[in-house]
Each structure stands twice: as structure tokens, then as C-alpha cells.
Chains A and B, each alone.
Chain A
Amino acid sequence: MMDAVIVIFSAVFVNNILLARYLGNCPFCGVSKNLSSAWGMGIAVIFVLTIATAATWIIHHFILDPLHLSYLQTIVFILVIATLVQLVEFFLQKNAAALFQSLGIYLPLITTNCAVLGVAILAIKNSYDFIMSVVFAAASAAGFLLALLCMAGIRERLETVVLPRPFRGTAITLIIAGIMALAFFGFSGMDATLSSLAHH
């Protein structure tokens, strides 16, 4: 139980997927202009990331590993993720129209979001078991949502501010992300405290 708490805490704050692991930055800059689309994208990422990590974990441990094909990991994972996203898109359109209306437009963006492939590979690399992989994926995506929401909130305010022309748009977004990353550094101390608690 404690392990799961630490994995969640570490994935959301300490090793935030956007600000510390550098994954998923393209949508981070693209979809953080307002809060409502940040919500949509964040929820869609949680959804897809969790399913994709579960699927790739199963494929890796039941097919690739026994057949000694782990060198094909990259190509297999990306193909599985692309197919899965497409399938989810079709499925939502058919069976959950309301959900599709709010998440649908973000789904194609997610296929090429390196956060999905990155977390799937990391879950294998860290040799988590199945439950832990799913927890790790969901927590990482929650960290993505958190950072995205913070950024969207700041950018909504930023719109009314007079900025030097060259800094407008992505430039200032990246600089703010840098400051946010600095703020998230503060959590690393808490990680150490938590882990020493677990060690005793």
C-alpha cells in the first residue's frame, strides 16, 4: 500500500512527467491556452495512458519477453498505442457520444504524445508489476493534468498582460514552465522524507 502511495506521490510531484521527465511538452504548449481545453486534454491523457500502459505491459510480459523479442519493444508499443487510440476513438464515438464530444478532438493528438509511449516504456524499465504499472500510469497522467491546469490558469491571466513582442506565445510559456519546474524541485525533499519513512 505504502509503495503505491510513494509511486503516486513521486509520479505526480517529484518526477512530474512534464516538468522533470520532459515528456509530453508539445501538447503542453499547444493545449494550455485555456482551462477548459486543459481539462479535456488532461482527462483524455489519463484515460489513454492508463489503458495503453496496461495493454503494453500485458504484451511485453506475455508475448515479447517469452519469445525473446524485447528488442522490438519500440515498434510494437507504438503500433499498439496507435491502434488502441484509434479503437478508443471509434468506441467512444459509438457508445459514449457525450464523452466523445468532450475528449474526441484530443485523442488524435495523443497518439504522437511522447508521454504515452514514454510512460509505457518506463513502466517496463522500472519493472513494476501489473497493478503498479497501472497506478504509475494513472499517477503520471494526473501529474500531467496538474501541470497543464497550472499552466492554463497562468496563461489565462497572462493574456491581459503587456509583454515584449518577441516573448509572446510559446517563448513565455516555456519560461513559465521553467519557473514551475523550479517550484516542483521543492518536492524532491519530500520524496526523500517519504522514502525514509517507508524504509523504517
Chain B
Amino acid sequence: MNDAVKMFIVLAGVTTTCGLLLAGAHDLTRERIVTQQLRYIKGPAIRTVLSDATNDPLLDRRVVAVSGKEVTLFFGKKGGRVTSIALETAAQGYAGPVHIISGFDPESGTCTAIAVALSQETPGIGSRITGDAFTGSFTGLDPATAAALRKDGGTIDGVGGATVSSRAVCSAVAAAQKLFKEIRPSISEVERENAHQ
């Protein structure tokens, strides 16, 4: 047999077999990995946002499709009633994306709390966006007013010296507000479905 053909068969064969094995392994572990990722990376932020919930919001999650995109909603329940719904959005910060979990009241659409799930902002400067003083200023934000810094004509006071990071948080929350507005009509339906399970 031709040398080149042999080379081809060996390399392609090994790669295909490996692909098959990996696909199998991926199928087996995928679900677990998603749950683990949520638990360890976003879990703490989600629990902060839905702090008064009595259920495990990580298990009460639901994926809905909004304008072609898939969004995962986390339901915080108290006494069987949904008190708050959290979702994740991201915006480009100073040193990479800043992932924000924002919680909303399902009735009024008011922002109940936000928390930073993931960020690589500069320690000591940009990282101060994770502080309660800053994240707390989003609580009670009206659905009609999009989150924005005071210097951008909004209502939020930025963290001194960390304008880029603060602005990233605002735009992430604003995106979440917009998403939630789109999702809200279908929520009661999702919720009912959720309650059935």
C-alpha cells in the first residue's frame, strides 16, 4: 500500500476513534458538568440574589427561548410561591466579561438584588464592584428606568476609580431588565409548568 495512504488511514482512524470515545464520555458527563458549574461558579451569586428563597434555585431552573437566544431562569420560591426570578447577563468589563446575576420580582418587574457571578477585574480597583455598597444600589430599581451610571444620565453611583467596571455592571443589569421585560408575559405559563413538576 502507498505510504501516504497508510499515514492517512492511521491518523484519521485514530482521530475518529478518539472522537467516538470522547463523544460518549461527553454524553455521560454533560448533565453533571452543567450542574457542577452552576453550583460552584454561579451558585453563590444566585443564592445571594435569591437569599430569602426556601427552595434550591439551582434545581428549579428553566430554559426559555427569547428572540432566538436561550436564557436560563432560576426560580426563588417561598412557601411554594415564586418570590423572585434570577437570570444571568454579561457585559465587557475592563479585563474581560463581567457576569451578573440579577433578580426580579415576577409581579412588578422591580429589581430585587444583583450579584457579580464572575469577573476578572483588577484586584483592589475594579474588583470593588462586588461590594455590597455598590450592588445594593440596584435594589428596588424600577423596570421603567434602565440601569445606568449617574454620569451617563442614570441613577447609579459608580465605584470611584472603576468607571469601566461599574459601567459594565450597569449595562449587564440593563440587558437583564430588557430580557426580563420580554420574558415576563410568558412567565406565568413557565411558572405553572414549573409548579406541575
A adjacent to B, CB under 8 Å: yes
User: What residues make up the interface of A, taking CB atoms closer than 8 Å to B?
Assistant: 71-72, 75, 79, 126-127, 191-192, 195-196, 198-200
Q: How far is the CB of B3 from chain A (nearest CB, A)?
A: 17
Closest to A79 in B: B15
Q: Are B124 and A192 in touch, CB under 8 angstroms? A: yes
In the docked arrangement, what's the CA distance between A200 and B161, Å? 7
For window 67-115 of B, CB contacts with A under 8 Å fall at 94-97
Contacts A127-B96, A195-B94 given; does A200 touch B163 at CB 8 Å: yes
Q: Are B120 and A126 in touch, CB under 8 angstroms? A: yes
Contacts A199-B162, A199-B164 given; does A126 touch B96 at CB 8 Å: yes
In the docked arrangement, what's the CA distance between A161 and B66, Å? 69
Mostly, the A contact residues are: helix
Contacts A126-B120, A192-B124 given; does A198 touch B164 at CB 8 Å: yes
Closest to A3 in B: B94
Chain A residues lying within 8 Å of B165, measured Cβ to Cβ, are: 199
In the docked arrangement, what's the CA distance between A24 and B67, Å? 44
Closest to B19 in A: A72
- Count residues of B near A (Cβ-Cβ below 8 Å): 19
Chain A residues lying within 8 Å of B97, measured Cβ to Cβ, are: 127
Most buried by B among A195, A198, A200: A195
Contacts A191-B122, A199-B162, A199-B165 given; does A75 touch B18 at CB 8 Å: yes
Instruction: Identify A72's interface contact among B22, B120, B162, CB under 8 A.
Output: B22
Chain B residues lying within 8 Å of A72, measured Cβ to Cβ, are: 19, 22
In the docked arrangement, what's the CA distance between A191 and B120, Å? 14
Q: Are A199 and B26 in touch, CB under 8 angstroms? A: no
Instruction: Identify B125's interface contact among A75, A126, A196, CB under 8 A.
Output: A196
Chain B residues lying within 8 Å of A127, measured Cβ to Cβ, are: 96-97
Does B126 interact with chain A (Cβ within 8 Å)?
Answer: yes
Query: Top 5 closest A-B pairs, CB basis?
Result: A195-B122, A199-B163, A199-B164, A126-B96, A196-B161
For window 138-178 of B, CB contacts with A under 8 Å fall at 161-165
- Between A and B, 26 residue pairs with Cβ closer than 8 Å are A71-B22, A71-B26, A72-B22, A75-B18, A79-B15, A126-B95, A126-B96, A127-B96, A127-B97, A192-B122, A195-B94, A195-B122, A195-B125, A195-B126, A196-B125, A196-B161, A196-B162, A198-B94, A199-B125, A199-B126, A199-B161, A199-B162, A199-B164, A199-B165, A200-B161, A200-B163
Chain B residues lying within 8 Å of A126, measured Cβ to Cβ, are: 95-96, 120
In the docked arrangement, what's the CA distance between A198 and B95, Å? 11
In the docked arrangement, what's the CA distance between A101 and B164, Å? 47
Closest to A71 in B: B26
